[in-house]
Amino acid sequence: MELRDRLAIVLDVDDLVLAQRLGRQLKPWFGVAKVGHELYAAAGPEAVTAMVDEGYAVMLDLKLYDIPTTVRKAARVLGGLGASFLTMHAHGGPVMLRAGVDGLRDGAEAAGLPAPVALAVTILTSDAGAPAHILGRRVMTAVEGGCGGVVCAASDVQEAKELAPRMMAVVPGIRPATSDRHDQARAATPQQALASGADLLVVGRAVTAAPDPARAAADLVDSLGAATTS
């Protein structure tokens, strides 16, 4: 897998034209585009299809959390959009997660597409006070629910992989050492995240809010390339 396929750029903006402009500017360094609540609220399903058309794999980060029937129905619709990943809250339990996985499969099949990978969100990287036992419980919930991956902090990847070695580990809160941590209480440098065993690194404001996003992206990727070859 190429390094850019392990990097997701966060398109947390409320304007699809701006998201597309950022996407085109940063595509040399990022293979995945994260569409979250803000962009999806502004542009709806078109946010997914537009970024797929730009050549990105899309991580649709809506963190579904509701009764199983509602999650299944929503996931069925979302499964037909062409996203590669969809997030759901592990706190919803294995039955809810399984309903989402089934909905994704059905929606993708109806659209003639591969089913997106269901990612179970374990503990938000802004939450510094979660009890230690929560991570393991939520990783096992993701396994029982049939998810293909978990979203967790870099500091949680080792434990998550020990519990579920085949699970994909997606790590948000990525910040170069010199960057502002913003509201990410459990941030990590990209080097720390890769060293922890992360499969996909989610990078946001450290690049998109930089004075020169393309330069920030190039510097980040260069630093990772040096780390992986040293």
Is residue 205 within 8 A of residue 182, CB to CB? The reply is yes
Instruction: Determine which one of 27, 63, 73, 161 is catalytic.
Output: 63
CA 40 to chain centre: 14
Residues 6+ apart with CB under 8 A from 26: 9, 207, 213, 214, 217
Cα(205)–Cα(88) distance, rounded to whole angstroms?
23
Is residue 147 within 8 A of residue 101, CB to CB? The reply is yes
3-state secondary structure of 8: strand
Cα(15)–Cα(19) distance, rounded to whole angstroms?
6
| Residue 177: both structure tokens together | 């050492």
CA 114 to chain centre: 18
Dihedral pair phi/psi, residue 44, rounded to 5°:
65, -155
161 is catalytic: no
Residues 6+ apart with CB under 8 A from 177: 189
- Look-up: residue for tokens 């959009």? 81
Task: Report the catalytic residues.
Answer: 63
